Structure 1
């Protein structure tokens, strides 16, 4: 109950998002000593020098995507798989791309344990998107780019929504929402955040 209260205090009002967050225990996506801190609204370390985002940011980004049950969603930056799991509760299908193969393998295991069969985890260079599955109704980045990447914008369907952090990796970043319309792109700012930077290529296969 405290978990949901915290989310509501951060402006999360979408009942479907709240239900999805409540149904997936965050500790399942953490390991070691950090499992005990799963209820805290803070980012926490995971393998490969990455982090799992704080629940209020996961919920905000999910809410701003305005996902419907018919949506095909692309996520760039699988990490622990927590965000992808939340998305899977709301969308028809989720494709999530992770450049660290150990993270992709671990996320796949956890998602399978929850029986989330509508998620496909792919170990690849997320900065290029997933052109073979485009167009997407929604695109979410959990890594910060200096600008919305052109390849990803090209893979977004007209009428689609992209949510991502933008800004230099060593400064405060801004979470933005991009709506692709017939006449162009509409941008809105959602607040300050801090994410790992979006990297090109696939990382070396080390834990």
Structure 2
């Protein structure tokens, strides 16, 4: 089931109206049709996860600087399309790497039973905890950790999503997926990166690359080998 484009919206709330138009004009045309994803986008207040200096950008199709270590929020359509294509179910456990402000974790928390999100920067992790607590995201746990290296004691997971890009697919993370689990990551080098989904079925792995998008790098992950003359 998909939601109609002409759903009623409370025009007395300027932010609710702006959020509605963000979903209808930016996100739904980008092949985001999962009814649960749309409802999460309409109920999670993105403006509450944006630094005050960038508040006017909350509903725009841009990456937003977080003011810490050069980190940014992904554009809303990227968060939405990743969640849509990973088909997260209400009974599933999700690992996110790259918490940032906590917005993507809040969306994932609306879709999944439990979310563990890893942030390498302690200042950002604390910001995300405060934002998620204010948003009532009680099923999301923020950990200060390097997702490229640290052990994942809470695993295995149904879904692993990297909220940022990597040069090469992090094969080691696939060992932390349950049978039937999916990993989603934006992989490659500018100007060509591809959202890559790997589904695990026993010892078999099925890989698809449904769309292209250049996104900021996650820290710590391996880089591709460079050819040297």
Structure 1-normalised TM-score?
0.92
Corresponding residue for residue 94 of structure 1: 115
Q: Which residue of the other structure, out of 165, 174, 178, is the alignment partner of 1:153?
A: 174
Tell me: higher relative CO, structure 1 or 2? Use CA pairs within 8 A at least 6 residues apart.
1
Corresponding residue for residue 205 of structure 1: none
- Is contact 2:157-2:176 (8 Å) kept? yes
Structure 2 residue ranges without an equivalent (≥5): 1-19, 222-229
Alignment partners' CA distance in 2, 1:72 and 1:163: 14
Matched, 1:2 2:18: no
Matched, 1:12 2:32: yes
- Is contact 1:147-1:166 (8 Å) kept? yes
Alignment partners' CA distance in 2, 1:122 and 1:133: 11
Mean Cα deviation higher: 127-136 or 67-76: 127-136
Structure 2-normalised TM-score?
0.83
Corresponding residue for residue 81 of structure 1: 102
Length, aligned pairs only: 200
Corresponding residue for residue 125 of structure 1: 146
Q: CA deviation at 1:33?
A: 3.0
Structure 1 residue ranges without an equivalent (≥5): 202-207
Shift of the 19–83 alpha-carbon distance from structure 1 to 2, 3 Å rule, reads same
- Is contact 1:85-1:116 (8 Å) kept? yes
Alignment partners' CA distance in 1, 2:164 and 2:89: 23
Q: What RMSD in Å do the two structures reach over aligned CA positions?
A: 1.4
